[in-house]
A = this chain, B = another copy of it.
């Protein structure tokens, strides 16, 4: 019957994201090295727990039982909790939420949450086939219903219902690629990523073009998650975990709901804001899961950043940019940074920490932020996972 402690992210680091000449294990080691460099006060023996977010190492790296492998690669001997969590594209955030739960439950004091994915393989056909098993494979994935066609359907429907334009999609992509230009770890640094140029790129699944789609990316990231009263030992800028929300709606595409009204995200959002005691208007910035440009548009609507159908205008009007209302994806998003499945949720938390600590370049620094939200969806936007962070006072 002890009291529940508060929990904070006390620092983090990512590897360079991209097509990397590095193995799964080398990515883990690189993230670990950077984590310990970023938090010089941290000693390996203080870490009592390790949570590894990884979506498909069994297929991408032919390696299972990855949590103890990662522990060994990081030089850790977890004595409280060691596990890997998998929730496809949201595996990284699942690892942080597990660390949060463990610390709040009194089962851990100092935890590392690490996310990693090695997606670029000698055979990209094998990699793409593996992505098909994120869906209900025999019913959906095996018949070609993978992420790009699903989100293309969402975009088509959104255009039809609300008059959303290809220009709006390009506005999201242009913004996120612009932010990525100031993120040295991003996969893409395209200096002249204009909307016109984006609209000339090849179609992947109409209306989504190459610039509307996140990439197959290699990368890893790690954060330190600690009991509140220990946070100041590691940082003067703890990012406090104030709320969380999640909802799982359906899995088989035949059971999918309204393509443009993400009910599960609305539900998760209510719980996240309720638990944090704030509303969307209190947010200074948000890391939304822009696996496709249309996702950022629909997610912003479901979270109440703007009314339904207005997500395109929100981007076109600059409301999701610096100087707008809620800055969305200052890190560069999945579009600009790439999307190494297990690493993405962790990298978003690293961005929250760095924004709060004013450690990012001015081109993407949100002025004096207090509240941030991180969103990950997985599969066909059938599961939504959220966390709300507050800057330490």
Chain A residues engaging chain B, CB cutoff 8 angstroms: 1-4, 50, 55-56, 58-59, 62-69, 71-72, 76-88, 94, 97-98, 100-107, 130, 133-137, 244, 246-252, 255, 267, 271, 378-379, 382-383
Instruction: Kindly state the separation between the CA atoms of A244 and B80 in the bound complex, as whole angstroms.
Output: 9
Partner of A82, one of B4, B68, B69, B246: B246
Residues of B within 8 A of A55 (CB): 64-65
The answer to whether A84 touches B83, judged by C-beta atoms less than 8 angstroms apart, is no
Copies of this chain assembled into the complex: 2
- A65-B378, A72-B252, A78-B246 given; name 17 further pairs at CB < 8 Å: A55-B64, A58-B59, A59-B59, A64-B134, A67-B86, A68-B248, A68-B382, A69-B251, A77-B248, A78-B247, A82-B246, A83-B94, A84-B86, A101-B102, A101-B105, A104-B106, A104-B107
If the complex has contacts A79-B246, A86-B86, are A64 and B56 also in contact, measured as CB distance less than 8 A? yes
List the B residue with the shortest CB-CB distance to A55.
B64
Closest to A385 in B: B82
A130 to B134, CA, bound (A): 19
Contact A107–B244 (Cβ < 8 Å): yes
- In-complex Cβ contact of A86 among B71, B80, B83 (8 A): B83
Q: Which residues of B contact A50 (CB under 8 A)?
A: 248
Specify which chain B residues have a CB less than 8 angstroms from the CB of A246 in the assembled complex: 78-82
Indicate if the CB atoms of B59 and A83 lie closer than 8 Å: no
Tell me which residues across on chain B come within 8 A of A379, comparing CB atoms.
65, 68
A248 and B133 within 8 A (CB): no
Is B63's CB under 8 angstroms from A249's CB? no
